[in-house]
Structure 1
Amino acid sequence: MSPETSPETSPETSSAPSPSPGCETSPGLDFQRARSPEQREARRRAILGEAAALLTEMPLADVSLRELARRVGLSKTNVVRYFETREAVFFALLNQSLDDWLTDLDLPTATPGAVPGGPAGPAVVPDGSAGPAAVPGAPADAVAVVGALARSLAGRPVICELWSALGRELERNISAGTVREFKLAHTALQSRLAALLTDRIPALSDAAARELVATTILLIAGLWPFANPSPQVAEAVTDPRLAHSRVDFADRLSRSLQVTLAGLLALG
């Protein structure tokens, strides 16, 4: 057996660190070189799974490629076989998370032919309860759609965290080719969401739906950091005099999307 293929000298076996105590490695990964496409995909998904888990434990800025490699049970060099930098890991995690979310996303349907600017009553959310009052210019059932969208996104912190980090952190230390590949896939995922919105809100044009999706990302990028402040800021805003500084992410995103939707429907 040649040194290149020998298990004793394979780079993925000889340089892989032992998992730290209390740190479980992904099932099925035995530190042998992943040779088949299926094995490589399993390894790739394991890396992304650990990256998502780390985001529940620490801020994105604190997640290093070295720590990610340690958690997966590989060397940093071997992680780079799958992703060129830590930023590339999180690009892939964002697209995978979006794909999974869109597959599961269930939004209500607005009444076809509802007249923008018509009577606005309380929006009805999927569980039958009354949601926030609709804004003038948007039918209540259309408002319910974007309200459900906001609540669903609030339940996907990985997506929100990574969207909020795109411009300020992730689009650095990355090759043009990797960025291009990410953005092409990301654009296709945004188009899926826009198509779902036009299906659920018939009064929304294709162009308006794409703009609504783009605005949703921008709103999340702005709101998420303020809704998830540092411990020091969180303690400071418990002062009643700073109550206005506290950001309820789901409520603020829902309201902002309602206003955006009303404007887009009014513009036609």
Structure 2
Amino acid sequence: MTTPEPFQRARRPEQKEERRQHLLDTARTALHGGMEVSELGLNELARQAQMTKSNVYRYFENREALLLALLEEESAQWSVELGARLAAAKPVTPEQIARDFAGSSAARPLMCRLFSILPSIIERNVSPERLTQFKRHSLALIAGAAEQLHQAAPVLPFTAYVEFMRQAIALMIGLWPLASPAEALAGVLELPDLQPLRYDFEADFGTGLLLLLRGLETRAAG
């Protein structure tokens, strides 16, 4: 994709979408490169994207609105990847669902990272209009993934997979920061007596998802 010229204002819809996507790609590259979310202000984004801050504001009201858009993209791509994994699995057992769900999530660390700060940081500083739009996107994501799961393994009803998705996201939000400790804490957790407090995101997420599925199976059977 061609980098926009500095200070050049996009006027046609396709130009505006190109500028918007360029900002998202720039932010994604910075965050994948190790930048902390707190460091990614719109001034820094504008500098890296070779755009003025006023132009950045034409696309995102603030940093949190940008992060919401990134999370929407990341989660949509995750849903496609989960569907591909499920389609390749025969048969699709609860164990397979847990492995594919955990594996496809671990393969998207930026998505997990953004979900982990969604309720405490991102959602606290965006407009009600943008929040409404995002929550409707989240409902569509949950419903779409639940439908994929139901088609792959109809042993549970669609409504059970909707509940599974709701609880899985909550589990991801809590587990990701536990499995990604700061450097000082990571060193402390290397002590032999403290190793039981260490978390491996993919392995522990998969375990939690399987327990959730088993519980939903028991409830459905009752």
Q: CA deviation at 1:140?
A: 8.2
Q: Does the CA contact (< 8 Å) of 2:86 and 2:92 recur in 1?
A: no
Q: State how far apart, in whole Å, the 2-side matches of 1:149 and 1:104 are.
A: 9
Q: 1:102 aligns with which of 79, 99, 105?
A: 79
**Of the candidates 193, 197, 201, which is equivalent to residue 245 of structure 1?**
197
CA contact (8 A) 1:190 1:210 kept: yes
| Corresponding position of 1:84 | 61
Paired letter, 1:235: G
1:52-91 alignment, distance < 5 Å: 52-56=28-32, 57-91=34-68
Task: Give the number of the structure whose alpha-carbon radius of gyration is greater.
Answer: 1
**Which runs of 5 or more residues in structure 2 are unaligned?**
none
The structure 2 residue matched to 1:180, chosen from 98, 111, 132, is 132
Aligned partner of 1:43: which letter? R
Give, in whole Å, the separation in 2 of the partners of 1:55 and 1:190.
25
Give the SS at the match of 1:82.
coil
**Where in structure 2 are the equivalents of 1:1-268 lying within 5 Å?**
27-31=2-6, 32-56=8-32, 57-105=34-82, 106-108=84-86, 141-268=93-220
- Say if 2:64 and 2:126, in contact at 8 Å, map to a contact too: yes
Q: How far apart in 2 are the matches of 1:172 and 1:142?
A: 35
Gaps spanning 5+ residues in structure 1: where? 1-25, 110-124, 129-138
Question: Between Structure 1 and Structure 2, how many residues are aligned?
Answer: 217
- 8 Å contact kept, 1:145–1:200: no
The TM-score with structure 2 as length reference comes to 0.92
Q: Quote how far apart the aligned CAs of 1:33 are.
A: 1.3
Q: Please, what is the CA RMSD of the aligned residues?
A: 1.9
Runs of 4+ in 1 over 4 A off after TM superposition: none
Q: Which structure has more helix as a fraction of its residues?
A: 2
Residues 42, 62 of structure 2: 8 Å contact kept: yes
TM-score by length of 1: 0.76
| Conservation of the 8 A alpha-carbon contact between 2:5 and 2:50 | no
CA distance in 2, matches of 1:239, 1:39: 54
Shift of 1:62: 2.9
Q: Is the 8 A contact 1:107 1:200 kept in 2?
A: no
Q: Larger relative CO (CA 8 A, sep 6+): 1 or 2?
A: 2
